[in-house]
Structure 1
Amino acid sequence: MSRRVAFTLAACTLPALLSGCGSSGNPNEVQIAFIGSPKQLVEKGLRLSPPGQQVRAATTAGLVALDAKGEVVPALAERWIVTEDGLSYIFRVRDSDWPDGKPLTAEQVRDSLKLTLRKLRGTSLGLDLASISDIRTMTGRVIEIDLSSPVPDFLQLLTQPELGITYRGQVAGPMAVSTAQSDGDVVLKPMPPEKRGLPAQHNWEKSVRELQIRALPARDAMKAFYSGDVDVVFDGRLADLPLADTGPLSRGTVRIDAAMGLFGLRVLRDDGPLGDPVRREALAMAIDRQGLLSPFNVAGWLPSTRIIPVSLLGPGASERWPNLSLEQRRNIARERIAAWTRAGNSADVRISLPEGPGSQKLFNELAKSWAAIGVTAELVAPGKQADLAMVDALARFGGPRWFLDQFNCGVRKLLCSPEADALVREAVNEADPEKHRTDLLEAETRLMANEGFIPLGAPVRWSLVRGDVPGFAPNRWATHPLFPLAIDPK
């Protein structure tokens, strides 16, 4: 029987008998494992790994948050309005207190956000937030955020864990760290509604569960899930997908997100066979993207030849080389590589991919595509000298600018484009939607001309979820908040 995993935004369930029932057997807790290292669960500062982001989001609330389906919901802001031109967002802050008993005010929220924005300068997230022109208070509980240009999914951008509000070292999230154990595990306990500015609920403690969270290497996380020691495994990637059991008895436990973001190869050197954009383009042209993930039996994956997905580019946009078949592209690429080798040069490239059996499968497909044009590929471990390296990142919000910000010269200098950066800055300050779009399209054109990145398609993210665990749903952000997992519907 063919074992096929489908990208879907629909939730699946599975009887406990088929999902490998087990876990701790304690109905008052949920066992969760992130694929990662224990130190990531307790990260400080504003440069967070996926496990660190999830713990931060659960313990430090922002103005808004995400629910299990990836939809924006109230957090410290109880409600908000958006002006018709999309340039002002006005939030009413919830009537609640900090842990020390002092009231939470709009001034504190404003000051926290402004401080965070200053600290994020020079990062890609800081660039994403560059459209914020002002943050000011209107009353003790009302705050207004003004933008220089409309930002699609701006509320989604405000849900980022790094934008959680702090006051004198205090936080006011939906959950609190109950214990941080010596082995690196973290226990999160839901905060009562009255501690979050909400009406008290009778028997609240009976409707919630603690979350026992650990971080494990991929193989250990798989073993823990299939042995029944954990109920959920988060942050699975393509490199680890072959470790997950996608057979008929496990159908429904592997949940894949139709994620948005960047998945491709960044050029690390601009000499040798990659020293000319014409040859770098030859590598991009030769890849059989339609068959790239065929060894994984993944249905619905979206390949791409562009930095910005075509779906975000508007009318008339298309993939690169639209009038050329794969064989025609390879003929062109073969001629370019042959011109290089005829001069006595070698056409060898080294690719750095994350450790895992999925990386070997992906490498095999890339090597096969490049062998067809006379290029020999070698797989090297992360940290070793390489010509190309994997980029695998989830989008923070659903606008074209996020994709361009990842290649800003302030973030990455090799084969960046100051001209593209200037166009993005112009777009940030451009209120006219059509001019804004035109600037971003031209910026992508400048970046693609450098051929410093070989797009492959959408990122792959998956989770393992036991059938009787509520509070989980695949979503386009591939982000799964922890708080909904603590709510017991029984």
Structure 2
Amino acid sequence: MIKRAIVLLLCTAVIVSLFTACASSGSDNKPITYNMGANPKTIDPHLNNAVEAGSVIVHCFEGLTRKDAEGKIQPGMAERWDISDDGTKYTFYLRDAKWSDGKPVTAHDFVYSWRRAVDPNTGAEYAYQLWYIKNAQAITEGKMSPKELGVRAVDDKTLEVELEAPCAYFLQLTAFPTLFPVREDIIEKYGDGWANNPETYITNGPMVITEFVVNEKIVLKKSDTYWNKDAIKADELVFTMISDPASELSAFEAGEIDFADSPPAEEIPRLKKEGKLTVKPQLGTYFYCLNVEKPPLDNPKVRKALALAIDRQYIIDNAAKNSAFPAYAWVPPGMPDAKEGSDFRKVGGNYIGEDYKKNVEEAKKLLAEAGYPNGEGFPELTLLFNSEGGHKTIAEAVQEMWKNNLGINVKLDSQEWAVFQETRTQGNYEIARHGWVGDYVDPMTMLDMWHSKSGQNDARWKNSEYDRLIELAKRSGDQKERMEAMHKAEEILMTEMPIIPIYYYTDLYLINPKIGGFYYDPLGFKVFLYATKK
């Protein structure tokens, strides 16, 4: 994802109380405090592209489907659905559900919301997640009106959805934030600012926001209007915003927070030894994004040389210290392939060799072929990263490797998270730190972001054959054909190398042992809906 969102407020933070009622179970379940790190750029379900803010959103909203305590897809706002024989038409039957202000959730809410998500005027980076729906891509490209989206409210409780082609994971997508409903009347009245204020942040999910203090905390409480409120164990959640890893660890060890998500790299060995650290595999990749519009990064040989000159295992062991796995390709392990039980990564193999010395020799050769023997004449580039977390240590290691192996100088620069995201999205960088965690369990969640028309393609890379293969994989209902197309697409990506995979994510966190029922979503979200604290 992943895959950190609200326009950053510059005024003095003010606590605003939510006027809607919140549930009180009468239990002795204590508030749970989770540190989400930096202040989110937005918590608008359609505009967010960050895992941390997504963790807020999945507590507050619910799609047509949802994930249960075991991460399995279950009925959400839709109590049931029908799928046509050819897999291109879904009919969802909505249950009697309410928004947090008591108004009914209707099929019309979904029609409005999905049209809003694909409307180019909205600027949703995740609009492409709806391109499976008929006409969605053409709408995002400005070729058709949002009203022509293949979704229709038959009545208040019946929603018809027409797809461009069968999509095996469509019910996973309907549980993803970009397909969550929002309220037309609220957004028309308050504009983009609706998500900045607890009073206007009307939700349809298990929790409501009662306080939002910029750069400090977001407080969520159990909603008394949620249809399945009796299944929700958490009464109150406090999402803090401690961006410095050392401060976060101190707060956790002092008992001030219950969950720390970014322990300092230098403390990881101690925390492992003391048995405090939890390590979970994550469906995502840490990588560097190369702006191919900036010379000499417009040369694939230069990009490949930079990729080969990095010692991934060294970074994992000495810089990140995070028990991750070196990434010699793009799609992480854990994604299915065509044959039942097979893994896309194992089938596809590696595109970067594991022999680092051979990689360096190849990198030197490629750089010379590109016109920069031993780095001579190579311009100084800037590697940009966000200041939060341990990205500086990793960047320093890479900087040294490029200097020692290729004879090139790279300057390091950092920005605060919200500013950094905007800089990267606008293409105002040369090399930028990036990370992506999947949004559903299929290789497409990693591959379609590099389609030339994807809102997530920060590398600004374009390849017509790659686009064709991605579009073929999306249209086909044949799993073998889909996977073959995606393997070919990944090969093109790793040959052109607009990105440099560094490692496959693992999620390292600290959690209060008094908390039970916490659910870890391998897609990156931290879910406390079913959690209790003694």
Same fold (TM over 0.5): yes
| RMSD (CA atoms) | 3.6
- In the alignment, residue 414 of structure 1 is paired with which amino acid? R
Counterpart of 1:5? none
Counterpart of 1:163? 179
TM-aligned CA distance change 1:128 to 1:248, over 3 Å: closer
Deviation at 1:319, TM superposition (A): 0.9
Whether 2:435 is the aligned partner of 1:392: answer yes
Deviation at 1:380, TM superposition (A): 0.8
Deviation at 1:293, TM superposition (A): 0.3
Structure 1 residues 105-144: aligned runs within 5 Å: 105-118=106-119, 123-133=124-134, 134-137=150-153, 140-144=156-160
TM-aligned CA distance change 1:142 to 1:414, over 3 Å: closer
The whole-number CA distance in structure 2 between the counterparts of 1:125 and 1:457 is 24
TM-aligned CA distance change 1:275 to 1:115, over 3 Å: closer
Whether 2:325 is the aligned partner of 1:294: answer no
Whether 2:456 is the aligned partner of 1:455: answer no
Kindly tell me the number of residue pairs found equivalent between the two proteins: 450
TM-aligned CA distance change 1:308 to 1:115, over 3 Å: same
The whole-number CA distance in structure 2 between the counterparts of 1:312 and 1:86 is 20
Counterpart of 1:154? 170
- In the alignment, residue 165 of structure 1 is paired with which amino acid? P
**Partner of 2:161: helix, strand, or coil?**
strand
Q: 1:285 aligns with which of 305, 308, 321?
A: 308
Structure 1 residues 257-406: aligned runs within 5 Å: 257-268=280-291, 274-295=297-318, 296-299=320-323, 301-309=324-332, 312=336, 314=344, 316-320=347-351, 325-338=355-368, 340-342=371-373, 344-346=376-378, 349-355=381-387, 358-367=390-399, 369-371=401-403, 373-383=405-415, 387-406=430-449
Counterpart of 1:217? 243
Instruction: Report Cα offsets for 1:75-102 as digits up to 9, x if no partner.
Output: 2123445556554444332223345544
Q: Is the 8 A contact 2:286 2:503 kept in 1?
A: yes
Q: 2:474 aligns with which of 428, 433, 447?
A: 428
The whole-number CA distance in structure 2 between the counterparts of 1:435 and 1:231 is 46
**Partner of 1:458: helix, strand, or coil?**
strand
TM-aligned CA distance change 1:438 to 1:160, over 3 Å: same
- In the alignment, residue 241 of structure 2 is paired with which amino acid? A
Q: 2:32 aligns with which of 4, 27, 30?
A: 30
Structure 1 residues 227-246: aligned runs within 5 Å: 227-234=254-261, 236=262, 240-242=264-266, 246=270
**Partner of 2:523: helix, strand, or coil?**
coil
Gaps of 5+ in 2: 1-27, 135-149, 187-201, 338-343, 416-422
Whether 2:212 is the aligned partner of 1:196: answer no
TM-aligned CA distance change 1:70 to 1:160, over 3 Å: same
Deviation at 1:479, TM superposition (A): 0.9
- In the alignment, residue 348 of structure 2 is paired with which amino acid? A
Q: Is the 8 A contact 1:337 1:375 kept in 2?
A: no
Q: Is the 8 A contact 2:82 2:92 kept in 1?
A: yes
Q: Is the 8 A contact 2:309 2:406 kept in 1?
A: no
Structure 1 residues 242-261: aligned runs within 5 Å: 242=266, 246-247=270-271, 250-252=274-276, 254-261=277-284
Deviation at 1:229, TM superposition (A): 1.0
Taking only the aligned residue pairs, the percentage that are identical comes to: 20
Q: Is the 8 A contact 1:266 1:454 kept in 2?
A: yes
Deviation at 1:281, TM superposition (A): 1.1
Q: Is the 8 A contact 1:46 1:120 kept in 2?
A: no
- In the alignment, residue 248 of structure 2 is paired with which amino acid? A
Deviation at 1:266, TM superposition (A): 1.2
The whole-number CA distance in structure 1 between the counterparts of 2:160 and 2:131 is 16
Deviation at 1:265, TM superposition (A): 1.1
Gaps of 5+ in 1: 1-25
* Larger RCO (CA within 8 A; separation ≥ 6): 1
